[in-house]
Structure 1
Amino acid sequence: MTDLMENAIAPRVATRWWRDAVIYQVYVRSFADGNGDGIGDLLGVRSRLRYLSDLGVDAVWLTPFYPSPMADFGYDVADHRDVDPVFGSLADARELIDDAHRHGLRIIVDVVPNHTSDRHPWFQAALRAAPGSPQREYYVFRDGRGAQGELPPNDWESIFGGPAWTRLPDGQWYLHLFAPEQPDLNWEHPPVREEFADILRFWLDLGVDGFRIDVAHGMIKAPGLPDVGHPGQVRMIGAEVVPFFDQDGVHEIHRAWRRILDSYEGERIGVAEAWAP
C-alpha cells in the first residue's frame, strides 16, 4: 500500500493484522481446478485452503472471478455482484469465504472501479441511448474535435497502446484508458459512487475481509479533460501527474470507502494499486 493512500484507507484500530501479514495472490483461472473441466475455479481454491494455511499464509487475495468476457483477464467486469459460471456460483463464493475463515485465513477480493466491461448493462444501455442522454452520464462520452468530430476529444493514450478513445457510429467518442472493451466510468455522476458503495457492502456482508482496489489512482479526471501535450504518456505515469490519474478527487472516494470498511467488525482493509509520483 502506498504512503499516499495510507491515511485514507488503513485501518486505525485493533491489531492491524495486515502490517506483517502474508497475503497470497490467487489467479483463480489457473490455480486449481475443482470440477475437472480444465479451468481453475472457486471450488479448486477452496480445496487448497488447508495447504495455504499450513504454509503460514494469513490472507488470500482472489483476482476477479466476476462475470466477464475476459478481454483483460477478468478486469473487465460485467456484473460486480456475481460469479462467472466458469468459476462457479455465488454459493461457491460464500462457502469459500466461510471455509477460509475456519482455516484462519482472510479473504481479499478485487474491486475494479475505474472502468467496466463493455458488456456491462450500463454501457449497453448507453450504446442504445442517444448522445446527451442520462444513460451516457455513467461513462465518459464526448464529441470529437475537427470539422466533423472526426478527431478524438483529446490526445490521451491508452495504457495498452493507441488512443484512449473509440468512436461510435453516432459520432460520439467514449474514453477507455485501458482496452476498448473497458470503458471508463464517470465518477462525477453520483449514481456511480452509490453503486460502488453498495458493491462494497454486498461483499462485506458476505464476509470478505477487504478489497484490493484496482487502478486506485484513477476514477477522477482533470476538469475539461485537457491534453497531456506530448506522446509517450505511459512512460510518464509514476513520474509526473497526468490529467487522467492521481487527481485529488480520488481521496474523497477512498475516505468514503474507509468509512464503509470501518462500519464492519473484523478490521476490514483496503489496499491500493496506485502508480503515482
Structure 2
Amino acid sequence: MADNHSVERGYKKDSYILAVQSNPIHGPSQIEEKRPIRELREPSPLKEESKNGAILTVEELNEYKNDPFWKKLRWILYLLFWLTWILMFVGAIIIIITSPGCAAIATKWWHSAIVYELWTPSFQDSNADGYGDLSGISSRLNQLRKIGVNTVFPRPFIAVDESGLGAVDYTKIHDKIGSLDQAMSFIEELRSKGLKIVIDIPIVATSIDHDWFQRSAKASLPENSDFASYYYWKRNVNPSDYVSEYKNLGIFYFHLQNRSDLAILNWKSPHVSKDIKKALSFWIDKGVDGFHFGHVDFLARSPDGMQPDWPEISRILEDVCEHVNMYRNESIVAAGKDIFLFASPEPLREEHKKLLIYDAKLDGIINTELTKVALQNKICYESEHHVAGCANEILSDLLSFHNEHSDIIPIWQFGNSFVSRVASRVGSRSHAELLALIQLILPGANIFYYGEEIALRDIENIPYPQRGAMPWDDSINSGFSSAPPTTLNAHLQPDYQNINFERQYSDTNGYVKMFKGLARMRQMNNVLISGKTYISKTVDNGFTLCRFDPTTSEKAIIVAVNFGKTSTVQSLADLPPFQKYSHAKTGQVIAINSNPHNYHLRETIDLSHMEIHLGPEEGIVFIVNA
C-alpha cells in the first residue's frame, strides 16, 4: 500500500526534481532539498548506458561536428536544399505564366452570341390577321433555340414608320405587332427560355408624322415652343438629298439621305437628349438586354448636312452610353445587368471605328462591309463568277483590324432588313451556305437575318424583297399564317414547298443541321470563343480559315471552302496549327454544307499531306487532332 509520501513519476533518482510530500488532510508537509547545480551537468547513468544505442551524448556529437567529412557533407546538403527550393519556385512561376485557364476567358454575354434578326411582320402571324406579331415570335422560340440562337432581335419592335428607320413613338409598341402588355409577356417568355432580346432604337431620325416633328413645325405657338430645337430648321439653304423644304413655307429641315419623310433629330437640344434617355430608361426597366443604334453617321452633320461630324457623333454616343450604364445600376429591374450597346453605320474607316469604341464607349460596331458582298459589284471582282476573292479580301482586312485591336469585339453580319438577301446577292444558295459556314467560325458576335439558316432568296418585284414571309413548312401559307392568302401582309416564297425550315431541319445532311451544330458549339468551345484567327489567301476559288489557341495544345478548328465549279486542293501547310503541330495526321469533320462530295459528318480525314481536297462548291469544318 502506498504511504502518504508520493514522488512525481518519470524522473530518475539522480535528476533534479522537486518532490512534494503530500498529506491527504494537511496538504504539503515538506520540500526536499535542491541538488547542487554541478550535479545537473553530470551525465546520467541512462545516457552512459546508451553509447551503443541511438542516443548520443554532447561529447559524441562534438566529435562528428568537427569531423572534416561530416562538415563537407552538411554544406553539400545545405546547398542542395536551397538550390532545389529556388528551382521549384522558378518552376512554379513559369507554370503560372504559361498555363492556360481551365475554361474559356470570362466574357460578356454578347461576345460569342448568335443574334437572330427578324422582320416581325413577316415572321409568324398568331391571330390570323395576315400580319406577323410578337405572340407569333413566341410560338417559334423553341425552334430558334434548337438551332443555337441565344438572342432575338425583332424589327420593328417600338412604333416606327413602314421602313423601320424612323421613330413614331419611343415608348409604344408598333401597333400591328402587339400591345405593351404583349411585349412584356414576350420578354418574359424569352427570359424563361434563357434567351436575350435586343431592340432597335432610332436615335437619329423620326418620322415626320411623329408628334415631336409636328409640334416643332408649329413652334411659333406658345404650347410648342420647347419643340423648336428638336430638329434642324434652316432658311436660305439649297435643297439636296439631305435637305427638304417644309410645305413650301420657305423653311427647310435636314433628313436622312433621299428620305424626306425621316427628319434628323438635333442632339444639341437638351430636350432631345432628355427624351431619348428617358425612352432608353423605360425599356431598360421593361427588361430589354441591348440597344441597336442605326445610321449613327447622321447623328451630327456638317453645315450642309452632307458629311458626318465624327467628333460630335462620338460625344453624343458617349453621353448615351454613360446614361445607360448609370441607369442600369439604378434600376431595380436591371441592377448589375450587362446591356449590349451596338451600332451599324455605313462602312467606316478604322480611325472612326476606334473613335466609337474607345471614346464613345459603344460595345461594338457591326462590320457592315460584309453586306456589300455581291456578284460583280463595285467591291467584288468582275472576272469572278462567285465571291471567293471578294469575301476573302474583306474578311482579311477586317480580321487584321480586330487582331490588331483585340479589345474591339467584332460583330459579323452578311444580311439584314434593309439589304438584298445573301443568296440573291451572290446568285447561289450554295455560296450563301459557304459564307454562313465561314461566319459561324469567325470570332465575336454573329447576327443572322431570318431565313439565312435555310439560304432564302429575295422575292422579286416587291418593295422590300428581303422581307418575305418565313417559310416554316409546306402547309398553306408556308406555316406563316392561317389567314386567307389574299389578306397576307407578307409575300410567300415561291419555292416554299421545297425550301422551308421543317424540311431542312429534318434532313440529316441539311444546311440547318450544319448551322445548329456550329452555332451551339460556339457557346462552349474555348477556341471558338477566344482563339486566334488566321485566314489564307484565295487559291483556285477557295480558301481556308482557322481558329486556334497558340498557348495550348487544344485542338484547332478549320473551315475550308470552295466557291468554284471544279474541284480544288487547299494547302494547310501555312496555317499556324500545322506549323506548331507538325505531327498532326488526322482531323474529324464536324460540319459540312448541303453540297457534299468528298466528306461526311464525323468522318476521320487524313491530314498527313497537309492539304484538303474539296469538290465543286463544297465546304467543311474539321477539328485537327493534335
Output the TM-score relative to the length of structure 1.
0.78
Over residues 41-80 of structure 1, what are the superposed CA-to-partner deviations in whole Å (9 max), with x where a residue is unaligned? Answer: 111111111111121111011112333442xx22222101
Alignment pair present for 1:108 and 2:171: no
**d(CA) in 2 for partners of 1:171, 1:220:** 23
Does residue 135 of structure 2 align to residue 43 of structure 1? Answer: yes
Give the CA deviation at 1:130: 3.7
1:25 aligns with 2:88: no
Equivalent residue, structure 2, for 1:77? 167
Structure with the bigger RCO (C-alpha within 8 Å, sep 6+) is 1
- Corresponding letter in the other structure for 2:203: P
Given that residues 267 and 316 in structure 2 are in contact (C-alpha distance below 8 angstroms), is that contact kept between their aligned partners in structure 1?
no
Note the alpha carbon deviations across 1:162-207, whole angstroms, 9 max, x for none: xx32343321011112411111111111111111111111111100
SS at match of 1:260: helix
Corresponding position of 2:573: none
User: 2:138 aligns to what SS in structure 1?
Assistant: helix
C-alpha distance after superposition, 1:127-166 (max 9, x if no partner) = 2234995533110110024xxxxx43xxx524xxxxx323
Q: Which structure has the larger Rg over C-alpha atoms?
A: 2
Aligned residue in 2 for 1:237:
none
In structure 2, the residue matched to 1:231 is none
**Structure 1 residue 123, shift from structure 2 partner:** 0.6
Query: Please, what is the CA RMSD of the aligned residues?
Result: 2.2
- Cα distance in 2 for partners of 1:226, 1:37 equals 45
For the 8 Å contact 2:264–2:298, the answer to whether it is kept is no
- The question of 1:254 aligning with 2:282 is answered no
More deviation, 42-51/213-222: 213-222
Which structure 1 residue ranges, 5 or more long, are not aligned?
Answer: 1-13, 146-150, 159-163, 229-241
Please tell me whether the aligned partners of residues 188 and 220 of structure 1 are also in contact (alpha carbons under 8 angstroms): no
1:121 aligns with 2:211: yes
Give 1:274's aligned residue. Answer: 345
| 1:97-154 Cα shifts (integer Å, max 9, x gaps) | 1110111110000010111011111111122234995533110110024xxxxx43xx
Cα distance in 2 between the residues matched to 1:30 and 1:227: 34
3-state DSSP class of the match of 1:62? strand
Q: In 1, are the aligned partners of 2:296 and 2:343 still within 8 Å (CA)?
A: yes
Give the aligned partner of residue 62 of structure 1. 154
Q: CA contact under 8 A between 1:94 and 1:206: conserved in structure 2?
A: yes
- 1:26-48, Cα deviation, whole Å (9 max, x unpaired): 11110111111011111111111
Q: Distance in 1 between matches of 2:195 and 2:341?
A: 16
Q: Distance in 1 between matches of 2:344 and 2:211?
A: 26
1:166 and 1:175 in contact (8 A); partners too: no
Q: Distance in 2 between matches of 1:102 and 1:84?
A: 23
Preserved CA contact (<8 Å) 1:53 1:104: no
Listed as ranges, the gaps of 5+ residues in structure 2 are: 1-105, 329-335, 350-626
Q: Which residue is 1:135 aligned to?
A: 227
Equivalent residue, structure 1, for 2:277:
197
Change (3 A) 1:38 1:227: closer
Letter in 1 for 2:345: A
Aligned-partner Cα distance in 1 for 2:255–2:112: 36
Q: Look up the equivalent residue of 2:143 and give its one-letter code.
A: Y
Superposed CA deviations along residues 238-277 of structure 1, whole A, max 9, x for unmatched, are xxxx2xx252112222222322333422211111112222
Q: One-letter code of the match for 2:253?
A: Y
Question: What amino acid does structure 1 have at the position aligned with 2:263?
Answer: P
Cα 1:57/1:246, change in 2 over 3 Å = farther
The size of the alignment, in residue pairs, is: 233
Q: Residue 185 of structure 2 corresponds to which residue in structure 1? A: 95
**Structure 1 match to 2:293:** 213
> For 1:169, what is the secondary structure of its paired residue?
coil
- Tell me the SS of whatever aligns to 1:18: coil
CA distance in 2, matches of 1:221, 1:227: 5
Aligned partners of 2:254 and 2:305 also within 8 Å: no
Q: Secondary structure at the match of 1:19?
A: coil
1:261–1:269 CA contact under 8 A, matched in 2: no
Alignment of 1:226-265 (within 5 A): 226=304, 242=307, 245-263=308-326, 264=328, 265=336
Contact 1:83 1:90 in 2 (8 A): yes
* Letter matched to residue 150 of structure 2: D
Q: 2:248 aligns with which of 163, 166, 169?
A: 169
Moved more, 56-65 or 21-30: 56-65
Identity over aligned pairs, percent: 29
